Structure 1
Amino acid sequence: MPRSSSVRIVTELASRGYNAEREAVTLIAGANDPERAIERVIESVPDDALTLSAEHVRRSIDTNDATTATHNPSVSGGNHDMQSETEPTAPVETKGSGDADGGATGRSERSVDPELRSLAIAGDITGRSTGTGEYADFVRTFRDRYERLSKLLRSRINHRPTEAVEAMAGGSDAAIVGMISDIRSTANGHWLVELEDTTGTFPCLIMKDRDLASVVDELLLDEVIAVEGTLAGDGGILFVDDLHFPDVPRTYTPSTADRHVRAALISDVHVGSQEFAADAWSAFADWLHTEEASAVEYLLVAGDMVEGVGVYPNQDEELDIVDIYEQYEQFAEYLKEVPGDMEILLIPGNHDAVRLAEPQPGFDDDLREIMDVHDARISGNPSTVTIEGVSILMYHGVSLDEVIAELPEEKASYDEPHKPMYQLLKKRHVAPQYGGHTRIAPEERDYLVMEEVPDIFHTGHVHKLGYGKYHNVLALNSGCWQEQTSFQQSVNIDPDVGYAPIVDLDTLDLTIQKFY
């Protein structure tokens, strides 16, 4: 048997009912005949042992049969252009280091003091859902959205409630903070935008010859904006002179970690699909064991762990595993390939076995038990994860479909998924429009509002790699681990497969590792 990667050894041991310490796996991998080494270890291990230790291996195989594994990197450089208003340095793209068959040959342990690590989760709907689907629940959700986003806008303008504006004399200057209830064009090519607050609605006219007319095509129903202008002579309409989004301040300064530590941000694994890129995943997992990746201490997965069942028409024809629980069991096996000393966080996506309406709670107890690998943390979608002082807003990204459909291509497209992410940052809401493609669950609180500015905004869903800086916030869509399916081909989705974006949390620099 040729020299085995640790992944194959771990898989073989797991099939025989054993876990193994990292050093034990390394010793077996370094043996001249790893297959024979496995047999000798299993033959000699005590009957009550569930985990093979390094000492078990040393007692079972002749140390002369073992050689030290070496790291033989094969790295090719490359660059993607990072879209940014501040024009930062583009991230480096490299191939994952490893041997010819994708297995890592250099082993590394993260010997950092666990006390230095910190991972806190906020905004998790799991266990907090109160919605019953009643009309009153929706009213509470949208009222909460309005109140929280309007606070971000009121300090910029001399805001008046719509009922107060109605009582003002014609020709007066006025300003309104409201939720967009309607957008329509007039016969003369101008735009009439109706804004609603808690006291009523008011029509606002944006003239086609004004500079701000260029942002009208960015407006979505149900988002919260502020306008300033002058009332018509009869006071019945506001002629808009300026328009404000809640937005990220241009002066925003992101937080960074106090030490050199890195996080891998991935999404859309899709285990269970016939097109799951198993070799690319294993190459990624192998790379995480190498010295090159020793500073990668966190792994964040932004949804779609599995392919799911019944997500799109005729999906069953493209499934490798047809049972949803078996899909998660297989995902857990692949997760075992990742180093056990990493901090792992998983959130669901639209292919996962949770409710489709957002915010999505984390997985139920049965699925959590299946995915209980390396003490992985599970949270809802979306969630804000603060890692050593760096806040990362994780959102699977279903609303990107809606933004891309509604906005012009130069402002939002599948080929540049970071651009619709910029729009969500500008609107300070991950799914502003109700009643379209994105299902929104009514809750007492709108969990989809970006009340605090994240340092990193991480999404998936569209299976395209895209990244850039928006007002110093790193926006990243991390691609996928699933090759093109027949369904994707029918809707012109050409996926970016096997990319692992790696963020240096002390600098927020981005490196793209490629494993496909």
Structure 2
Amino acid sequence: MPLESNARIVKELARRGYNAEREAVTLLASAPDSARALESAVDSAPDDALRITADHVRTTLGSPPAEVDTASPGQSPVETEGSSLDSDTATDRDASVGNDTSAASTKSTDPDDFAADSAVDSAVDSAVDTAPRAGDSGHARDPERRQLDVGNDMTGRSTGTGEYRDFVRTFRDRYERLSKMLRGRVNHRPAEAIENMPGGSDAAMIGLVNDVRSTKSGHWLVELEDTTGTFPALIMKDKGLADVVDEILMDECVAVEGTLADDSGILFADSLHFPDIPRTHRTGAADRHVQAALISDVHVGSDEFMADAWSRFTDWLHTPEADPVEYILLAGDMVEGVGVYPNQDEELDIVDIYDQYEAFAEHLKEVPGDTEIVMIPGNHDAVRLAEPQPGFNDELRSIMDVHDAQIVSNPATVTVEGVDVLMYHGVSLDEVIAELPEEKASYDEPHKAMYQLLKKRHVAPQFGGHTRVAPEDRDYLVIEDVPDVFHTGHVHKLGWGKYHNVLAVNSGCWQAQTDFQKSVNIDPDSGYAPILDLDTLDMTVRKFA
């Protein structure tokens, strides 16, 4: 019996006349030999027992009974439309974002709506003990109703060899796909056609930003490049476009329209457009009340990994209040890694990378076994640094096969019961924050930097800086389809807000401040778990540290 087969364990118990606590099922599924553990639990059960309890399974497996922790996170929801928390003010507090001002955990769903379609399914439902009790959420976890699809996963599809022509192909694909988003807004002409137009003509060009520089007079000269050549555009300082120019990054795709000079050698810009997210974007929604936990940057193996906070989180996942949390979406940096930054070895609790993943898998076993988990890699993980990052190799996947977690590339789009979640670890956020004015992008408000990526429709628009880009047949970093939720990590700061109806969430981390972070002035937001309602896209942020 596979370790992750919670449903099979439940059906087998039901066949033998037992139901079971959900935590008991998780413990059986996590056992080294789940089939033998189940046999032992059944054989040693009292003759008059009808239900297998978690404490009975622990006794059977030789583990001590769990201690009851009466502490719980604060319950006061705070409504906000865009926010970040620093760790001094966020302690013992929940926060919610969205149209509903009530905490997500107060919602309930009639379990009768989730009636099983067959006798076997009915046995499964009763065996995991999901009927409402006093203090229960009233939510019936039903794996048969779950829907999870992954798009834009490039794992196993890498074609790049690192040659110059590979980069040309990648940037040509970027231009073609992003320019399509802009052609409906401007009357675009190729660079070579604009060169042959008479002076004084109205013209518009779509291109990748090849250069941006200020003139002595305080104007800005932007050179655009398309597949036919380059052409300069002059943005005058009195045109009211200073705020727009401040947001331009190298290599991104923009459209400029204006009037050609008399000698046709330059385009005087009247307006500049980014591909952007339509303001009319309509989000998807689940057809039942179900939730997803958005987390990232666990960093197992670090001296500062917050194991106690993680255990409080996973303990909470076993409570009735957390019954609706049927999905966990983890946006990279499962482990601390080795050699990621100078003198990192001095801050490691586990020095071997494989041992780090073994330890991470053990911590993942604390999550209820019937939870769907999707993970992408980050820059601390044992994959290539260049983006897009494919999912892990077979050896690491075999280590992290707990709960049959899906491991996909960075970035990837995960559709969870009708809600499209763009998952990206977020290395390019460093670049965006470094290049743009503080009011437009900062570590204290990481969601604003995410807004810029949505506006540019690309998760890593600038090439040649902090973000390494791998050349592929297509540019997997283009945000071609508008997501409903944009989930990142990397910067270890908590922030969220809505941009053109897209919920942008940077989910903080599970690592306390390291000496290296102190040296670069990073004060992390640690031990938070944003909990997303998939039916309303409201969000509750819970703190476990």
Match of 2:188 in 1: 159
Shift of 1:300: 0.5
Match of 1:79 in 2: 78
Q: Which has the higher mean CA deviation after the structures are superposed, 212-221 or 315-324?
A: 212-221
Give, as a single letter, the amino acid of the residue that structure 1 aligns with 2:504.
A
Change (3 A) 1:246 1:26: closer
Shift of 1:125: 1.2
Shift of 1:76: 3.5
Q: Is the CA contact 1:174–1:231 (under 8 Å) kept in the aligned structure 2? A: yes
Q: 1:58 aligns with which of 23, 30, 45?
A: 45
Match of 1:237 in 2: 266
Deviations 1:138-196 (A, max 9, x none): 00000000000000000111111010000000000000010000000001010000000
Give, as a single letter, the amino acid of the residue that structure 2 aligns with 1:477.
N
* 3-state SS of 1:475 partner: strand
Q: 2:20 aligns with which of 11, 23, 31?
A: 23
Cα distance in structure 2, aligned partners of 1:301 and 1:344? 8
After TM superposition, the structure 1 = structure 2 runs for residues 9-408 of structure 1, keeping only pairs within 5 Å, are 23=20, 49-51=36-38, 55-56=42-43, 58-59=45-46, 74=72, 75-79=74-78, 81-83=80-82, 88-89=98-99, 111-408=140-437
Q: Is the CA contact 2:488–2:507 (under 8 Å) kept in the aligned structure 1? A: yes
Give, as a single letter, the amino acid of the residue that structure 1 aligns with 2:82.
Q
Shift of 1:82: 3.2
* 3-state SS of 1:58 partner: coil
Cα distance in structure 2, aligned partners of 1:89 and 1:118? 24
Deviations 1:375-404 (A, max 9, x none): 111100000000111100000000000000
Change (3 A) 1:62 1:509: closer
Give, as a single letter, the amino acid of the residue that structure 2 aligns with 1:82.
E
Deviations 1:458-480 (A, max 9, x none): 00000000000000000000000
Cα distance in structure 1, aligned partners of 2:543 and 2:22? 25
Cα distance in structure 2, aligned partners of 1:65 and 1:461? 41
Q: Is the CA contact 2:286–2:534 (under 8 Å) kept in the aligned structure 1? A: yes
Change (3 A) 1:23 1:190: same
Q: Is the CA contact 1:110–1:297 (under 8 Å) kept in the aligned structure 2? A: no
Q: Is the CA contact 2:431–2:467 (under 8 Å) kept in the aligned structure 1? A: yes
Q: Which has the higher mean CA deviation after the structures are superposed, 482-491 or 254-263?
A: 254-263
Give, as a single letter, the amino acid of the residue that structure 2 aligns with 1:361.
P
Q: Is the CA contact 2:361–2:402 (under 8 Å) kept in the aligned structure 1? A: yes
Give, as a single letter, the amino acid of the residue that structure 1 aligns with 2:213.
R
Shift of 1:67: 11
Cα distance in structure 2, aligned partners of 1:141 and 1:65? 56
* 3-state SS of 1:253 partner: coil
Q: 2:454 aligns with which of 404, 425, 432?
A: 425
* 3-state SS of 1:374 partner: helix
Cα distance in structure 2, aligned partners of 1:269 and 1:293? 20
Cα distance in structure 1, aligned partners of 2:52 and 2:229? 81
| RMSD of aligned alpha carbons | 3.1
Deviations 1:411-443 (A, max 9, x none): 000000000000000000000000000000000
Is structure 2 residue 497 aligned with structure 1 residue 498?
no
Q: Is the CA contact 1:500–1:514 (under 8 Å) kept in the aligned structure 2? A: yes
Which segments of 5 or more consecutive residues in structure 1 lack a partner in the other structure? 1-20, 30-37, 96-105
Aligned residues: 472
Match of 1:4 in 2: none
Is structure 2 residue 516 aligned with structure 1 residue 487?
yes
Cα distance in structure 2, aligned partners of 1:249 and 1:64? 53
Q: Which has the higher mean CA deviation after the structures are superposed, 64-73 or 179-188?
A: 64-73
Change (3 A) 1:156 1:264: same
Cα distance in structure 1, aligned partners of 2:171 and 2:531? 36
Shift of 1:58: 2.4
Change (3 A) 1:60 1:306: farther
* 3-state SS of 1:352 partner: coil
Which segments of 5 or more consecutive residues in structure 2 lack a partner in the other structure? 1-17, 56-65, 84-96, 106-134
Cα distance in structure 2, aligned partners of 1:47 and 1:147? 52
TM-score normalised to structure 1 length: 0.86
Shift of 1:77: 1.6
Cα distance in structure 1, aligned partners of 2:442 and 2:159? 35
Shift of 1:253: 1.1
TM-score normalised to structure 2 length: 0.81
Identity of aligned residues (%): 69
Deviations 1:260-287 (A, max 9, x none): 1100000000000000000000000011
Q: Is the CA contact 1:27–1:57 (under 8 Å) kept in the aligned structure 2? A: no
Q: Is the CA contact 1:92–1:512 (under 8 Å) kept in the aligned structure 2? A: no
Change (3 A) 1:168 1:288: same
Q: Is the CA contact 1:81–1:90 (under 8 Å) kept in the aligned structure 2? A: no
Shift of 1:49: 1.4
Cα distance in structure 2, aligned partners of 1:217 and 1:498? 34
* 3-state SS of 2:171 partner: helix
